[in-house]
């Protein structure tokens, strides 16, 4: 019999973690791995700590610092509590002025160390409620008031509640559309948007400086500092998004199939649709209730092939006009429409252009300067639409934590619409994050208007391309264990041509000075992003914020120039194919 031994340094790290882990199941899990001599698994779990990526902490639910568990939630929340206490007393100076924490003039009122307290919510994933309870009790143990929303709840409701309750921060336990094994921890600042640098790095530093976890004070679940809210926050949210989007304004009734994808948005979405005056949709029965195992889909992301199969089957049977799908935490929206012989899903860029154009039309009578925003990896059509309407426009880094703040450095502007190509949309500024429910209401309003006029969403998109040109987009992904190395190589030896055409310029966003806005990356905060321009077309490369891979975004713009739209689209397609092939070849050699 072979006895497998764990290297002493690794064993010491594991045993030290076990000693401080508050969860008996997680402690037992690590002891079992030690007893089994599973060094490879332990090395992975102790390779480092989860860090704040594009959308907070995220990882598989399991024991150890490189996983999602109670110990990680306790440490992260204790660090957040310490940061809130320190910056609350610092007033408006230092990092307290980055929209992030309650200063001396904040809406305190709770008597807590962090002004208005912290809002806590969670989705229905495995252990989400447990992690939310841990976060609430750690905050209360630090003397900070806590507002717990009715659980589970959608992410947009949490983002809305931060400002609605004049809180200093918000914590949402969710892994959005990740696989069933995952969970996560999103942190919102007092402005209602997700945490940004340098605050996320400050909190990570504080996590590393924490003492033993058993020494962190944890309040009882019945602490007087913990307020458990009823339906009043959801009611306020529904009033706000309906007031922003507008209700049913046409007589055209739509036959709609809706799925919450086994997530937590379903009940609130149906309330929103009814309150806005739209007919009740048909709900995909097998996906109507929250289920952390997502049993009917291989991957609970409405972008993934097969995710809408059940919705499509119902839509065909009912001869529906529209399919709406939220992701499991309700912050994304997918839309599909009937076409001859079947159904077509709208891309994020297509729906972003449609909702953006509609939103600018709906708000045309408002006073003051309006702002529309998207990211540097999304299509540029929104910029063309905004320019034609005389509306301010900004491109930000990837992630709604940047999109939501696009107006912050543009005094006198009001954010009226923003989107990212990954099915995220913000219809107005009542929620400073992507919101799949208010976006669904906007899609219903626009589809209803189109049907009343004898048109369709695809007809409306044809009209946009006829005016602003064909904006054809695609993605190429390279999985690599060393994304930073690949980006360094591309910087040192950039391609001279792509798709058989010369690269006219390259922008390295890692060298940019801090700022906001601007097409092509001008004035953006520094980021590990490369932008290549090829005679008006564009390729953007960046490492993924959540996975070990390089993501490449391609856009080909073809002006119609008086030609039939089909001819312009064919010209764009013919340019995209060699561009994509060249990029795949370059990345395959890395």
The pLDDT tens digits of the residues spanning 486-521 come to 899 999 999 999 999 999 999 999 885 433 344 434
Of 112, 142, 168, 176, which residue is the catalytic one? Answer: 176
Which residue would you say has higher pLDDT here, 361 or 523?
A: 361
- The first and second tokens of residue 565, run together, are 């739209």
Tell me, yes or no, whether 552 and 409 share the same domain: no
The C-alpha atoms of residue 297 and residue 294 are separated, in whole angstroms, by 6
Give the pLDDT score at 523. 56
Strands 169-173 and 256-259: unpaired
DSSP strand E in 125-220: where?
Answer: 146-148, 169-173, 182-189
The C-alpha atoms of residue 25 and residue 463 are separated, in whole angstroms, by 58
Strands 333-339 and 322-326: antiparallel
Tell me, yes or no, whether 55 and 127 share the same domain: yes
Tell me, yes or no, whether 64 and 131 share the same domain: yes
Of 348, 382, 400, the position where a domain reaches its end is 348
Chain-centroid distance of CA 379 in Å reads 17
**The domain that contains 517 carries what CATH number?**
3.30.310.50
Tell me, yes or no, whether 226 and 170 share the same domain: yes
The C-alpha atoms of residue 423 and residue 519 are separated, in whole angstroms, by 21
Domain that holds residue 16: 1-47
**The domain that contains 296 carries what CATH number?**
3.40.120.10
- pLDDT tens figures, 309-342: 999 999 999 999 999 999 999 999 999 999 999 9
Tell me, yes or no, whether 104 and 180 share the same domain: yes
- Residue 536's pLDDT band, with cuts at 50, 70 and 90, is confident
Tell me, yes or no, whether 174 and 135 share the same domain: yes
What's the mean pLDDT in 104-122?
A: 62
The C-alpha atoms of residue 290 and residue 288 are separated, in whole angstroms, by 7
Residue 319: active-site member: no
Percent of all residues in the chain with a pLDDT value above 90, rounded to a whole number? 82
Number of domain units in the chain: 5
Burial 551-590 (b: 16+ CB within 10 A, else e): bbbbbbbbebeeeeeeebbebbeebbeebbebbeebbeee
Tell me, yes or no, whether 108 and 218 share the same domain: yes
Percent of all residues in the chain with a pLDDT value above 70, rounded to a whole number? 91
Residue at token pair 């929303």: 149
- pLDDT tens figures, 208-235: 999 999 999 999 999 999 999 999 999 9
Tell me, yes or no, whether 484 and 530 share the same domain: yes
Tell me, yes or no, whether 338 and 379 share the same domain: no
């Amino acid at each position: 019999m072979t006895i497998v031994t764990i290297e002493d340094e690794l064993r010491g790290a594991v045993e030290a973690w076990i000693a401080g882990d508050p969860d008996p199941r997680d402690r037992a899990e690590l002891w079992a791995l030690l007893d089994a001599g599973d060094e490879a698994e332990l090395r992975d779990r102790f390779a480092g700590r989860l860090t704040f990526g594009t959308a907070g902490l995220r990882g598989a639910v399991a024991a150890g610092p490189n996983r999602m568990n109670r110990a990680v939630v306790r440490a992260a929340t204790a660090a957040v509590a310490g940061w809130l206490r320190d910056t609350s007393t610092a007033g408006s100076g230092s990092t307290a002025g980055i929209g992030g924490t309650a200063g001396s003039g904040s809406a305190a009122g709770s008597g807590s160390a962090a002004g208005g307290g912290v809002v806590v919510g969670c989705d229905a994933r495995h252990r989400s409620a447990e992690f939310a309870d841990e976060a609430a009790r750690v905050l209360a143990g630090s003397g900070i008031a806590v507002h717990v929303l009715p659980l589970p709840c959608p992410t947009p409701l949490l983002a809305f509640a931060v400002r609605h309750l004049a809180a200093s921060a918000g914590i949402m336990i969710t892994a959005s559309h990740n696989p069933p094994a995952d969970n996560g921890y999103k942190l919102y600042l007092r402005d209602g948007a997700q945490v940004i640098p340098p605050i996320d790095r400050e909190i990570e530093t504080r996590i590393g400086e924490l003492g033993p976890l058993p020494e962190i004070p944890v309040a009882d679940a019945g602490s007087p500092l913990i307020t458990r809210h009823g339906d009043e926050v959801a009611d306020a949210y529904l009033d706000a998004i309906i007031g922003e989007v507008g209700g049913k304004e046409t007589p055209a009734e739509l036959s709609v199939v809706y799925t919450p994808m086994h997530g937590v948005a379903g009940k609130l979405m149906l309330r929103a649709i009814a309150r806005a005056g739209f007919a009740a949709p048909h709900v995909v029965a097998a996906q109507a209730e929250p289920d952390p195992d997502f049993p009917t889909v291989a991957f609970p992301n409405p972008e993934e092939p097969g995710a809408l199969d059940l919705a499509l089957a119902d839509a065909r049977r009912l001869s529906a006009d529209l399919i709406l799908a939220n992701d499991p935490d309700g912050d994304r929206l997918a839309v599909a429409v009937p076409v001859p012989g079947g159904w077509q899903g709208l891309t994020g860029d297509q729906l972003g252009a449609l909702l953006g154009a509609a939103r600018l039309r709906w708000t045309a009578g408002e006073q003051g300067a309006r702002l529309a925003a998207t990211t540097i990896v999304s299509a540029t059509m929104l910029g063309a639409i905004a320019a034609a309407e005389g509306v301010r426009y900004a491109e930000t880094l990837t992630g709604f934590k940047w999109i939501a703040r696009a107006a912050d450095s543009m005094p006198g502007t009001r954010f009226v619409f923003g989107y990212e190509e990954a099915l995220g949309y913000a219809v107005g500024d009542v929620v400073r994050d992507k919101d799949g429910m208010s976006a669904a209401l906007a899609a219903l309003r626009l589809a209803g208007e189109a049907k009343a006029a004898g048109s369709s969403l695809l007809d409306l998109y044809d009209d946009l391309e006829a005016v602003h040109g064909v904006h054809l987009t695609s993605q190429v992904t390279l999985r690599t264990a060393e994304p930073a190395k690949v980006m360094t190589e591309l910087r040192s030896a950039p391609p001279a041509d792509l798709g058989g055409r010369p690269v006219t310029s390259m922008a390295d966003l890692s060298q940019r000075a801090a700022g906001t806005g601007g097409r092509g990356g001008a004035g953006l905060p520094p980021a590990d992003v490369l932008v290549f321009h090829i005679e008006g077309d564009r390729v953007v490369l960046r490492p993924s914020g959540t996975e070990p891979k390089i993501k490449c975004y391609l856009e080909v713009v073809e002006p119609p120039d008086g030609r039939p739209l089909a001819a312009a689209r064919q010209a764009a397609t013919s340019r995209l194919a060699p561009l994509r092939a060249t990029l795949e070849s370059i990345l395959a050699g890395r």
